[in-house]
Chain A
Amino acid sequence: MFKMLNPRRFYHAVGKRRFWEFIVLAAFLLFFYGPMVNMFMLAFANKYDAPSVFPQAWGFKYWRFVFSQENLVSSIGQSFLIALITMVASMLICIPAAYSIARFKYPGRKAFMLSFLLTNAFPKLGIYTSIGILFYKYNLMGTLLGVVIIHMINSMMFMVWLPSSAFRAVHRQQEEAARDVGAGPFRTFMKITFPLAMPGIAVATLYTFLGSMEEAQGTMLVGLAHIKTMPVEMFGVILDYPVQVGAVFSIILIVPSILLIFVMRKYIGPEAIAGGFKMK
């Protein structure tokens, strides 16, 4: 059996095309998943010295360590709290905006949509600095509200573009049919339009939540030392603790993402995301 692993034999066994495909795939997998696998491995290493591939001792030492550090545990709670607030607040603000863009024609509609790109076009740090000046003026520095606003600015483009394309995909006749059988405009929206646009909205909400979970720069600048989310703590962890703590912390940070992606796997796909970038 091991004879078949000889590259020459393998090459002739599967043919030239398949052989190179295999090599490219293997390289790709290594490049893509290598760091992640390494991280998982390190999280369960009690002892690890740099040049060797495998840890010298396995165990849950650093998991216990992370959960015994009060500041790390509280940052987990802080992260979830901020992500939830950001998610709900941006839904309340962005979904009506998305609906108006999708349904009503008014001058400046396209410019309004493109303007969301602008915040992503500039270096974030520059924006945060200028926001900082405003935030100092309105006493938002170092507050939860300030951090939530920063997170919302980041997610706004997705939160408006994706639901807007989802609303556009709801046929007007379906809304009109609901009006026709006796539903008022608000009921029509809640019972017909919103459920039909749900996949797009779900994907956008997921992005908002995950984006908020991993936002570090803005939180650090605006939150000062008062608001410490997991990614903010991460900077300290990398500098002050052994590499295994970083690995454990990363896994904790990933868990909600994986859970959410799993729950919403039906809705997430290239089409849903691409749909959001269509300008009409």
Chain B
Amino acid sequence: MADRVIKLQIRDMTKKYDNGDGVEHIGLDIYEGEIVTMLGPSGCGKSTILRTIGGFLDVTSGDILIDGQSVVNLPPEKRPTAMVFQSYNLWPHMTVYENLAFGLKLRKTPKKEMEERIEKHLQLVSIGGMEKKYPSQLSGGQQQRVAIARSLLLKPSVLLLDEPFSALDAKIRQQMREELKKIQSELGITVVFVTHDQEEAMALSHRIVVMNKGKFEQVGTPTEIYDNPCSKYVASFIGEMNFIERDGKSVAVRPEDVVITKEPADISGSVRTIMILGHYVEVNVQCGENVVKCYIQREESEKVNVGDQVNLKFCKTHIF
């Protein structure tokens, strides 16, 4: 771990908007070849951070370094970053080829090399042979692939992705997620990813930054954040979590850590609903005012019926 190279460093960065919103005292080191996800609800400042890295927003104070060089005074076109937006990435009056060639032409790339690189990158995002199409002839997923290819083509130091999949269907979103992860590990590129979808963040990232109201709540690997949320906010935002008030404190327990048992246990109640979610079953138990959600195996679920009195055992809890 110690020999990892810092690719992007945000040093005590503050960005305040005129209305008082924004992010304050942000400090973060992102290492080479890492996917770091900014995760949080809309308006938490995650896009603000990404846009300051990309150069689309000025910082109020602090510094941003890429490869050890400060970039805060550079306009977007001079920064070694490439950004993929949620939508409207492509220029509809240009073909896919022209969209990809735009940046290369500015860099005076020879025509031969340009063609080769464009073809290679279209292959990489698995839409080879679409050079002559216009963006309006592509599906939403294909358009985002082109946008990703365009960004990768310029060999950026850091790839910035601003909710690139959130306008896509659930199926395509999952597929794109998997492909992005594969491409990233092949190229070893450093990625900063912004999303409000916790599942996407868990699936993609090496590290997740959970944000709330302009501040970092927790920074850690997906496992750390899932298993050891440091606050009630993080616990509720990542994954499913039951909260039970007890002695003025909140006891948090994940549905998969709840066991239904006949013996006396932590809490008891009556079964409210039983829902089959594929390979596992969700059982909701009414315990006083709380509804406790449990995920149990299919075989286990056959032993319980709606209305049954059951005891619930919490195998692993967090107390906030």
Residues of A in contact with B (beta carbons under 8 Å apart): 171, 173-174, 176-184, 187, 191-192, 195-196
Contact = CB atoms under 8 A, between A and B. Distances in A.
A171 B83 CA distance: 15
Interface stretch (B22-30, B88-96, B114-122, B257-265): B88-96
Contacts of B90: 174, 177
Contact of A179 (B75, B93, B154): B75
9 contacts: A171-B87, A176-B83, A176-B85, A178-B102, A179-B76, A180-B54, A181-B106, A181-B151, A183-B103
A176 B89 CA distance: 9
A180 B89 CA distance: 11
A95 B315 CA distance: 68
A178 B151 CA distance: 11
Contacts of A178: 91, 102
B91 A182 contact: no
Contacts of B21: none
A197 B13 CA distance: 37
Contacts of A187: 106
B90 to A, nearest CB: 8
Interface in B99-131: 102-103, 106-107
Given A173-B87, A173-B89, A181 B154 contact: yes
Contacts of A192: 91
A181 B82 contact: yes
B17 interface: no
A196 B134 CA distance: 14
Contacts of A171: 87-88
B77 interface: yes
A122 B85 CA distance: 47
Contacts of A182: 77, 103, 106-107, 154
Given A173-B89, A195-B93, A196-B91, A183 B54 contact: no
A171 B93 CA distance: 13
Contacts of A176: 54, 56, 76, 83, 85
A195 B94 CA distance: 10
Interface residues of B, number: 26
A180 B81 CA distance: 7
Contacts of B85: 173, 176-177
A177 B106 contact: no
B264 to A, nearest CB: 59
B145 interface: no
B150 interface: yes
B89 A177 contact: yes
The listed residue with most B CB atoms (<10 A of its CB), out of A171, A179, A192, is A179
Interface of B: 54-56, 75-77, 81-83, 85-93, 102-103, 106-107, 147, 150-151, 154
Nearest to B85: A173
A180 B77 contact: yes
B119 to A, nearest CB: 18
A213 to B, nearest CB: 30
Given A191-B102, A195-B93, A196-B93, A180 B88 contact: no
Contacts of A177: 83, 85, 89-91, 147, 150
B91 A180 contact: no
Contacts of B89: 173-174, 177
Contact of B102 (A173, A183, A196): A183
A176 B85 CA distance: 9
A184 B87 contact: no
A174 B88 contact: yes
Contacts of B150: 177, 181
Contacts of B103: 181-183
A176 B82 CA distance: 11
B87 A179 contact: no
A183 B147 CA distance: 16
A196 B92 contact: yes
A221 to B, nearest CB: 43
A57 B89 CA distance: 65
Contact of B83 (A180, A191, A195): A180
Given A180-B81, A180-B83, A181-B151, 5 more contacts: A174-B91, A178-B91, A180-B76, A181-B150, A182-B106
Contacts of B102: 178, 181, 183, 191
A173 B91 CA distance: 10
Contacts of B151: 180-181
Nearest to A170: B88
A272 B44 CA distance: 38
A187 B76 CA distance: 13
A197 to B, nearest CB: 10
A111 to B, nearest CB: 21
B129 to A, nearest CB: 22
